[in-house]
Amino acid sequence: MRFPRRCRAGSPWAPSSGPGPAAPAPPREDARWRGSFSAAQNPVSPGKRGENTAENKEIRLRIPIGSEHKGRSDTRSETVHRGRGMQPSDEDWMLRAIELGRRGRPAPNPHVGAVLTRGGRLIAGGHHEKAGTAHAEVNAIANAQGDTRGTTLYVTLEPCNHHGRTGPCTEAILQAGITRVVVGAVDPNPHVRGGGIERLRAAGVEVRTLVLSASAEALVAPWAKVQTTGLPYVLLSTGTGSRILPMEMDALWMGAREWDAAPTASAPLTVVAAPGVELLRRVARRSTSTTDRCLVFCPEARHAEYLLATGSAAITVVPLPYADGTPLPLSQALRELSRQGVVTLFVDAEEPLEQGLRDAGLVDGELERQPDRKVGT
């Protein structure tokens, strides 16, 4: 599987600001609303795109993306082109599922979206909001709030067929009486690849695969890399100016000097390599009253010394087989971060580290810095 070299606008890991087209702001979500929307709030089905003529009218749809509790309903507008009398295609519905899949913060799980339809009309949609919670397919079925027998399910990633923190989605699909499933991307994990599709087909469900597969695979590219290589998806900061952070990342690898100066963390996990014992003590004293998570790589021979310097701070010290003054074993470091649950890693550190990642072929994408503007320009 090939992964995108540059971050696509609108993907969860695209830059939140900077030159070029800006990625759309992530929609607001209400934790009480199970992933997305139901037909009661979106009775109009999307259609095929075409010319805006008398036979192909432009329709403004208001798609709920938040909560309707206590009369509230957060919405956004979406423009689609619908030919009169034309039924939406599988590609149209899969595009809607991909849009839903961009929501949530599911790491270390993948971004997944699902749409449930009957007779060319929308019934409900769902997405995977957070690891350990219901998957997109289950949320779409729950949001239907009615009879789902004989419906078609569009899902961006092959439904799982194994027990984890939640049950298999294939069983939920069968219990719901869904008779047709359209899949965007097949599961990249070689141990389970195709298992969900085979289970559904064996039960008599019609399954179509690889619909808008390139876009569906791009949606799960970071997770797919972890599944196939055991390494996180690495984004590298390039150019000069102010740092541009991706909209979604699990860890920020920064330089030791910046770590010393940074008053607060800007990522769920901050990673630093061999900052030195004195600097570690300084940051540890400053971090004892915060919940910021930090991970420090150090030479094996100095593990006990580094560990003692952390005190009671929330700093994880990971020893690696290298000595002071020698290059850090980057592949081993990245595998350790993957074990820590890191799917997307953003690196903005010293030039030798960044160049080492490039030379080892460990970089998957780049984010250019925002050029600093002079006063009056």
Confidence at residue 12, expressed as pLDDT on a 0 to 100 scale: 52
Confidence at residue 240, expressed as pLDDT on a 0 to 100 scale: 80
What residue has token string 């008779």? Answer: 179
Q: By percentage, how much of the chain surpasses pLDDT 70?
A: 74
- Report pLDDT digits (tens) over 247-279: 889 999 999 888 887 655 678 899 999 999 999
pLDDT greater at residue 4 or residue 282: 282
Q: Provide the terminal-to-terminal Cα distance of the chain, rounded to the nearest Å.
A: 44
Confidence at residue 71, expressed as pLDDT on a 0 to 100 scale: 26
**Contact, 270 vs 294, CB < 8 A?**
yes
Confidence at residue 84, expressed as pLDDT on a 0 to 100 scale: 54
- Report angle CA 9, 213, 233 to the nearest 5 degrees: 55
Confidence at residue 213, expressed as pLDDT on a 0 to 100 scale: 97
Nearest to 46 by CA among 11, 95, 114, 112: 95
Tell me the average pLDDT across 167-192: 95
Confidence at residue 263, expressed as pLDDT on a 0 to 100 scale: 59
Q: Is the predicted pLDDT of residue 79 greater than 60, yes or no?
A: no
Give the whole-angstrom CA distance, residue 234 versus residue 211. 27
Band the pLDDT of 291: cuts 50, 70, 90. Answer: low
Q: Is the predicted pLDDT of residue 82 greater than 60, yes or no?
A: no
Helix or strand (DSSP H, E) at 353: helix 351-359
Tell me the average pLDDT across 86-105: 95
Q: Is the predicted pLDDT of residue 119 greater than 60, yes or no?
A: yes
Band the pLDDT of 85: cuts 50, 70, 90. Answer: low
Confidence at residue 87, expressed as pLDDT on a 0 to 100 scale: 87
Confidence at residue 313, expressed as pLDDT on a 0 to 100 scale: 75
pLDDT greater at residue 55 or residue 345: 345
Nearest to 96 by CA among 61, 135, 145: 61
Pairing of strands 37-38, 121-127: antiparallel
Band the pLDDT of 10: cuts 50, 70, 90. Answer: very low
Q: By percentage, how much of the chain surpasses pLDDT 90?
A: 57
**Contact, 58 vs 133, CB < 8 A?**
no
Band the pLDDT of 54: cuts 50, 70, 90. Answer: very low
Give the whole-angstrom CA distance, residue 208 versus residue 212. 11
- Asked if 336 is an active-site residue, the reply is no
Tell me the average pLDDT across 304-314: 87
Tell me the average pLDDT across 346-361: 94
Name residues whose C-beta falls within 8 Å of residue 273's C-beta, 6 or more positions apart in sequence: 253, 256, 296, 297, 328, 333, 349, 353
- Report pLDDT digits (tens) over 233-245: 999 988 887 778 8
Confidence at residue 120, expressed as pLDDT on a 0 to 100 scale: 92
Q: Is the predicted pLDDT of residue 48 greater than 70, yes or no?
A: no
Q: Is the predicted pLDDT of residue 47 greater than 50, yes or no?
A: no
User: Catalytic: which of 29, 99, 129, 137?
Assistant: 137
Q: What is the rounded average pLDDT for all residues in the chain?
A: 79
Query: CA dist 28 to 36, 41, 73, 124, 150, Å?
Result: 10, 17, 11, 18, 32
Q: Is the predicted pLDDT of residue 129 greater than 60, yes or no?
A: yes
pTM above 0.85, yes or no: no
pLDDT greater at residue 352 or residue 55: 352
Band the pLDDT of 312: cuts 50, 70, 90. Answer: confident
